[in-house]
Amino acid sequence: MLADHGPPKNNHSLSEHSYTMKSLRLQLRFLLPLVLLLVIAAYVTVPLVDKLTLRWFLRDLDVRSALIAENMTNTIVETPEVPSQRQLQSEFNRAIRDERIFAIGLCNADNKLTNSTAAFPQRLDCTQAREAAAQSPAIVTLPRGDVHVTVVPLTLPNLKDGRLVVLHDLSYIHLRSADTRRYLIMLFVALGCGMALITVLVAHISWRGWVAGTKALLRGEGLLEPFRPPPELQVVATDLREMLREMDEERRSRMHQEDWTPERLRQLLNTDMRGEQVIVVSNREPYIHFKREEGLEVQRPASGLVTAIEPVMRACSGTWIAHGSGSGDRESVDHNDRVMVPPDDPSYTLRRVWLTEEEEQGYYFGFANEGMWPLCHLAHVRPVFRLSDWEHYKAINQRFADAVVKEARTEDPIVLVQDYHFALLPDLLRARLPNATIITFWHIPWPNPESFGVCPWHEEILKGLLGSSILGFHTRQHSRNFLESVDRFLEARIRMEESTVSFANDLTQVNAYPISIHWPSIEESSQWPSVQDCRSDLRRMLGVSEDHLVAVGIDRFDYTKGIIERFHAVDRLLQKHSELKRRFTFVQFAAPTRSSLDEYQLFVQQVHTLTDRINARHGDSSWQPIRLIAEHQNSDEVTRHYRGTDCCVVTSLHDGMNLVAKEFVAARDDGHGTLVLSQFAGAARELNTALIVNPYDVEETADALYRGLTMSRAEQAERMRSLRTMVREDNVYRWAAHMLLDAARLRRAERVSARIVSREARTA
Ligand code: F6P
């Protein structure tokens, strides 16, 4: 079993260093003998080739001399007269025009030099020339350099048994030999370099392969299938499997432990994550400062994301990086754009990032909310994709990446990237902080590959997200859709059983982590006004009697929330059950959102028109069946509405999770109240004892609403008990812990891998 002895801070660069060292050693092992071999080969071969070429050149000179003699004989013999001394001399001079011939001389039968060219050396007589020519090599050293001597018979009409002495200048042969030697040495060097390059490449590839194999094994790839590691890894494979199995079991048992609280999450961060810095990145900030006449006002935005992440940040005390969108945001930060929040109990840092109006228009309203939002929600609103929006989206993702790098105090922080505003951020971060654990959570649904493919930049978005160590969705269906999209559009290795994607040497774990809410403590819930007071307040606000039936919807004013569909259900309810007239009111609280977009303005108009129509149809001067309150409600008000209502209605047409449903359940510590919940909200997977409806089915939704309003107290209590158990246990701390434990497992595997690699490098 491999023990985990506390990691070096910089484990990634350590392992990179180790890879390089190991790789270098491997390469040197091959290269040194190779270089030695080449030197020996050059040492033996060069003189040998030198000798051979000299012999070839000399043989060539002998042949050339014979040819000169033959030529001369033929020329002179063809002349009708006996050759004169002048004619002979001119033949000699003609022959030495060839610059390689140094001199020519003619010896008679008595070994006397009778004719010669000017350069013929005086100290060389015919006898010496014959003796020299008989040697091998036939070379004579003169003061001006070496000459080669050839003596060939020459018979002329007036000369019997003559001998022609041809002296060849050897300097050009020496030059050629030197050239040959140089080329030969160059050939050896080129050969050596080529072989060295191939060796380095082969060694590098096999080392990378080894390292990749080790890492894959450590990450648990192939654990669920018969996996045959390469022979050199078999020794460690068993130990690693054992270690991973133990870690998995431990993680599973910890996940199932009863209560996950802020305190336990803090412990987990300190033990499993060794107190690493936690950085959250989201577009929406948890606290917005607005400038008012009386000073700065702080608001918590209506955002499921903020509802879920804020308590986690309170527990972890990290840094939350978000867009500073409030009119008073700049006034409330320090010179580093930081402010401690929550205002009443500062426990973590909010770091604001600024956008110009044009950037916000392109990145947030344009690409994120006119493109990605309708793309991912099947609510029958067409996505709009503009190149200029995409350019802003890329630039802002880069700006947030820079902010993360600036805020990171270590090389391996845990970065929690939130939502569809930052699809490119994980990969940008991976490039800048390779050791970071990047956990990306996609808060909205992920569509099927056909729908997703309409986005012109679908590949870039997938690649961006695959920079994450862990990529989370609310439901298994959304994770599966993502994996299928990767399968459709990228050349990546997907392991469906293990839910991992290997792409560009990075492994991403894709899982379903159903998000949740902070489960209020007894101290917190004891601060709430009583259910009775809340009921009275709500009815007083509506101007109705204490026994009036009330159902509420609390949403952002968004077309995905099914507000029109639920109003149709109210309309149908009143048609079917006229006895409810003047005895029942539906209150819709709708927080204004993205109001500058046409699609939202149109939707708001439609909802108002429909409200008026239904109210006109069923209401009178003293009673309106639908009350539409298009205003932001703060969290205390929302809690009071949840506690004061008989029934909470969530009819999203498509929703990642929907935390309104869970918040309602958490607020009902009286054990009563009913929940009508859309089957298209992720929450329906868990809250299955709610009244589940298809919001497009008006009859079914109207019937569920009726049932919710008229359900017996006993049935309400039974359903609510099961809902509350579910939300209390699967609270947001469990959600965060689940992802962090998975991340811890990855980090630990990486560290063990770094250690094995460096150990191997040391022993190599
Ligand atoms: O679920 C997506 C999400 O980002 C949630 O955080 C939140 O419910 C909503 O959209 C907030 O929208 P915005 O930040 O655009 O107001």
The pLDDT-based confidence of 736 (bands split at 50, 70, 90) is: very high
**Which ranges in the chain are annotated with CATH 3.30.450.20?**
2-176
Cβ atoms within 10 Å, residue 186: 10
Considering the entire predicted model, what is its pTM?
A: 0.72
pLDDT at residue 366, as a whole number? 98
d(CA 120, CA 165): 10
Say if residues 400 and 422 touch (Cβ distance below 8 Å).
yes
Q: Is 419 helix (H, G, I), strand (E, B) or coil?
A: coil
The pLDDT-based confidence of 51 (bands split at 50, 70, 90) is: confident
The correct answer on CATH 3.40.50.2000 for the domain covering 267-512 is: yes
Query: What is the atom index within ligand 1 of the atom nearest the CA of 419?
Result: 4
d(CA 738, CA 513): 7
- pLDDT tens column, 447-489: 999 999 999 999 999 999 999 999 999 999 999 999 999 999 9
Cα distances from 341 to residues 407, 596, 655, in angstroms, run 16, 29, 29
- 319-323 and 348-353 as β-strands: parallel, antiparallel, unpaired? parallel
- pLDDT tens column, 66-110: 788 777 777 766 665 566 777 778 888 888 888 788 888 888 888
Q: Return the residue whose CA atom lies nearest to atom 11 of ligand 1.
A: 303
12, pLDDT greater than 80: no
Centre of ligand 1 to C-alpha 287, Å, is: 14
Per DSSP, the residues of 665-714 read HHH-TTS--EEEEETTBTHHHH-TTSEEE-TT-HHHHHHHHHHHHH--HH
pLDDT at residue 241, as a whole number? 66
- Rounded average pLDDT over 330-335: 98
125, pLDDT greater than 50: yes
Q: Among 17-21, 117-121, 203-207, where is mean pLDDT lowest? A: 17-21
The pLDDT-based confidence of 293 (bands split at 50, 70, 90) is: very high
Query: What is the atom index within ligand 1 of the atom nearest the CA of 284?
Result: 14
Q: Of how many residues is the chain composed?
A: 764
Query: What is the atom index within ligand 1 of the atom nearest the CA of 656?
Result: 1
254, pLDDT greater than 80: no
pLDDT at residue 324, as a whole number? 98
Cβ-based burial of 205 (10 A; exposed 0-12, middle 13-18, buried ≥19): exposed
Q: Return the residue whose CA atom lies nearest to atom 12 of ligand 1.
A: 303
- Rounded average pLDDT over 335-343: 97
Q: Which CATH class is domain 528-730?
A: alpha beta
d(CA 373, CA 392): 16
Closest by Cα among 478, 324, 436, 618 to 13: 436
Measure the CA dihedral 748/749/753/754, to 10°: -30
Q: Return the residue whose CA atom lies nearest to atom 4 of ligand 1.
A: 305
Q: How many CA atoms lie within 13 A of 627 on its CB side?
A: 21
- Rounded average pLDDT over 295-307: 93
State residue 559 phi and psi, 5-degree precision.
Answer: -65, -10
Query: What is the atom index within ligand 1 of the atom nearest the CA of 659?
Result: 8
- Rounded average pLDDT over 599-608: 98
The pLDDT-based confidence of 13 (bands split at 50, 70, 90) is: very low
Q: What is the rounded radius of gyration, in angstroms, for the C-alpha atoms of the chain?
A: 45
Centre of ligand 1 to C-alpha 707, Å, is: 31
36, pLDDT greater than 90: no
185 vs 573, residue with greater confidence: 573
**Which ranges in the chain are annotated with CATH 3.40.50.2000?**
267-512, 528-730
589, pLDDT greater than 90: yes
1, pLDDT greater than 70: no
Centre of ligand 1 to C-alpha 304, Å, is: 6
Which distant-in-sequence residues (6+ apart) come within 8 Å of 666 by Cβ?
517, 519, 520, 724, 727, 728
- 101-107 and 159-169 as β-strands: parallel, antiparallel, unpaired? antiparallel
- pLDDT > 90: what percent of the chain? 60
d(CA 64, CA 70): 10
pLDDT at residue 684, as a whole number? 98
Cβ atoms within 10 Å, residue 196: 16
445, pLDDT greater than 90: yes
Centre of ligand 1 to C-alpha 721, Å, is: 29
635, pLDDT greater than 90: yes
Cα distances from 371 to residues 25, 383, 650, in angstroms, run 52, 5, 24
Centre of ligand 1 to C-alpha 516, Å, is: 15
pLDDT at residue 408, as a whole number? 97
Centre of ligand 1 to C-alpha 157, Å, is: 119
Cβ-based burial of 356 (10 A; exposed 0-12, middle 13-18, buried ≥19): exposed
Centre of ligand 1 to C-alpha 734, Å, is: 22
d(CA 325, CA 290): 9
The pLDDT-based confidence of 738 (bands split at 50, 70, 90) is: very high
Say if residues 762 and 19 touch (Cβ distance below 8 Å).
no
Measure the CA dihedral 304/309/311/314, to 10°: -150
Say if residues 729 and 250 touch (Cβ distance below 8 Å).
no
Centre of ligand 1 to C-alpha 49, Å, is: 81
- Rounded average pLDDT over 187-208: 74
Say if residues 747 and 509 touch (Cβ distance below 8 Å).
no
Q: CATH homologous superfamily of domain 2-176?
A: PAS domain (3.30.450.20)
The pLDDT-based confidence of 4 (bands split at 50, 70, 90) is: very low
209 vs 444, residue with greater confidence: 444
Position 96: which residue type?
A: I
- pLDDT tens column, 663-714: 999 999 999 999 999 999 999 999 999 999 999 999 999 999 999 999 999 9
Say if residues 598 and 365 touch (Cβ distance below 8 Å).
no
- Rounded average pLDDT over 584-597: 98
pLDDT at residue 226, as a whole number? 40
Where does ligand 1 bind, in terms of residues with CB under 6 Å?
A: 283-284, 303-305, 419, 443-444, 593-594, 656
pLDDT at residue 47, as a whole number? 81
Cα distances from 557 to residues 420, 444, 604, 625, in angstroms, run 19, 16, 7, 19
pLDDT at residue 218, as a whole number? 58
- pLDDT > 70: what percent of the chain? 87
150, pLDDT greater than 50: yes
212, pLDDT greater than 80: no
**589 forms bridges with which residues in the sheet?**
554, 629
3, pLDDT greater than 50: no
Q: Among 158-172, 282-296, 588-602, 678-692, where is mean pLDDT lowest? A: 158-172
The pLDDT-based confidence of 7 (bands split at 50, 70, 90) is: very low
Q: Return the residue whose CA atom lies nearest to atom 6 of ligand 1.
A: 305
d(CA 556, CA 590): 5
- Rounded average pLDDT over 624-649: 98
